[in-house]
Amino acid sequence: MDPAIEEGGTRKRKYVAEKGKAKKKKHLSTMVNAEKERLEKLVFGDPSYMLRNMGFGDPDSGVEDDGAQDSDTYSDTLASPPRVPAWVDEDDMLSVTGDSVRSGQDINNSAEYGKFLRRKFQSVYGEPSWAKLNKADEEHRDEEDQELLRTCGNMLNKSSYLAKSFLRIKRLASLNCETRNEGPIIKAVRFHPTSTVALVAGVSGCASIIQVDGKTNPKLASVRFDRFPIRCARFSADGSEFIVGSHRHSHFYVYDMIQGSTLTIYTHHNVGQTNMKKFEVSPDGKLIAIAGRFGQIHLLSAKSKEWIGNLAMNGNVEAITFDSDGTSLYSHGELGEVHIWDVNRRCLTGRFLDDGCLVGTSIAISPCGSYLAAGSSSGVVNIYDKRALLARAERSPTPLKAIMNLVTPVKQVTFNHSSQLLGIASDEKDNAVKMVHLPSMTVYQNFPALNEPIGRVQNFAFSPSSGYFSCGNNKNTAYLYRLKHFGDY
């Protein structure tokens, strides 16, 4: 046979074979596209059904509605405009060529080629250590904390409103788990205003400075005051020092946390000041108010600790507190009256009878300036609208809510930093501590837990961002809790 004819027949057979392969490939592609379109309609729905619900009619039917869109307009409406990248890095661009992939692998675009290279790298070198999750501390976290560490969407969608039905609270290691030398009765628990540090003090005369981490709570320092049972302790407004007072001595101590030195300050007997068993530091850092005898309230300079003035009310002073800006002082006492003082002018600006109160035992003002909480010897805590009190100047105002969950004298009432929580406690009965949800004026039923003996709470405090709550009891323990709704500290 002629070689030219044989060569022509070979080329023709190759052409026919290649043409058959092309037809088969085209037919296969058509089937794949049809199946893909069917699955999309099955999962996401038929676009024509969406248009009919929107009032545009069926684009495939012969009926025309007012404002009907053709297929091109419909596609332009549903398709979002392409997003332009902020920058293009040439090193990240992958070019797919026939030589860059081994034979037998069908890779059509750069994304698939990137996945191919990633699988090839992991098959040779394994998964890099920095890409693995660190699960060393998972035993210390519950399921919600683990999910929070893996995602950021929960942080963005997290509600700023505190749920009223259930308080998300978790018990941690006690604040003084490393010290236990503050005495059998913990009389003061305070959090530092700027650092993750807490102060725990008791009747043994020892004050411990503790770093708050929720796990081991290591001790930073312990300061012992000889034969000085501590009854009250407070940080200064800037946190540079703390003050401790007693009911048995006519002097008090100031500890400088920066220099590590202690200063003894004697009380001013000529104005009737005899002890420092109950005092408060103003939020602006200017004054120290001391509850004295016979209705006297002594005012000291927070900087020099010198006496600068006196206030006098009817009956003994049982509780005092400053408002959020330090310009007003509120006092509650044995006659059931709440007095409002202007500390700059040293004068009384108003007073009212606490509803149903025989003896007032505690008082607090919310940081937002909206609420006033007053506790009494009967265990009732009345919550008032503070702004209405100042505006109406009523002699016997009606409280917004009377909390009656305690049956013994209310030792302390304290608001958290966001004014969403109110803590109330009595020191005359075990587990007599409650949390009140302020927006709804309801008491949480899941705290304290029935199987969790707390003892008799002597003092409690919220951390600056309400991430922690601590209460000291009569069993040499300052319990620490994590309030999960709020920040880390």
The answer to pTM > 0.85 is no
**Cα dihedral 414→238→190→254 (10° resolution):** -120
* pLDDT of residue 63 exceeding 90: no
pLDDT band at 479 (very low <50, low <70, confident <90, very high): very high
- The pLDDT value given to residue 269: 76
- pLDDT over 70 (residue 9): no
Question: Residue 242 pLDDT > 60, yes or no?
Answer: yes
First to last CA, the chain: 96
- Measured CA to CA, the distance from residue 107 to residue 114 in angstroms comes to 10
Q: What is the pLDDT of residue 11?
A: 64
What are the percentages of helix, strand and coil residues in the chain, rounded to 5? Answer: 20, 30, 50
Q: Per-residue confidence at 155, pLDDT binned at 50, 70, 90? A: very low
pLDDT given at position 405: 96
Distances (CA, A) of 157 to 149, 154, 349, 386: 14, 5, 45, 32
Q: What is the reported pLDDT for 34?
A: 81
| Euclidean distance between CA atoms 188 and 175, whole angstroms | 12
Distance CA 152, CA 486 (A): 16
* pLDDT range class, residue 152, cuts 50, 70, 90: very low
Q: Which residue has the tokens 């990137």?
A: 114
Whether the CB-CB separation of 433 and 423 falls below 8 Å is answered with: yes
Classify strands 459-462 and 442-443 as parallel, antiparallel or unpaired: unpaired
The average pLDDT across 366-387 equals 96
Name the least confident of 97-106, 447-456, 459-468: 97-106
Helix 71-78 to helix 47-54 angle, to the nearest 10 degrees? 90
- For position 120, what pLDDT does the model report? 79
3-state secondary structure of 79: coil
pLDDT over 50 at 150, yes or no? no
Cβ pair 419, 366 in contact under 8 A = yes
Of all residues in the chain, the percent with pLDDT exceeding 90 is: 61
Radius of gyration of the chain measured on its C-alpha atoms: 36
Question: How does DSSP assign 99-133, residue by residue?
Answer: GGS-TT----SHHHHHHHHHHHHHHHH---GGGS-
The sheet with strand 442-443 has its strands ordered as 412-415, 421-425, 433-437, 442-443
pLDDT-based confidence at residue 79 (cuts at 50, 70, 90): very low
Around Cβ 16, how many Cβ atoms within 10 Å? 10
Is-cis flag, bond preceding 229, omega within 30? Answer: no
Q: Which position has the higher pLDDT, 41 or 239? A: 239
Paired residues of 188 in beta bridges: 201
pLDDT confidence bin for 84, thresholds 50/70/90: low
For the stretch 24-59, pLDDT in tens is: 777 777 887 887 777 776 666 665 555 555 544 444
Kindly tell me if the per-residue pLDDT of 105 is higher than 60: no
> How does the average pLDDT of the chain come out, rounded?
83
Coil, strand or helix at 193? coil
Domains within the chain, CATH numbers bracketed: 169-483 (2.130.10.10)
- Tell me which of 69-78, 152-161, 324-333, 356-365 is least confident: 69-78
- Per-residue pLDDT at 59: 44
Least confidently predicted of 120-134, 161-175, 422-436: 120-134
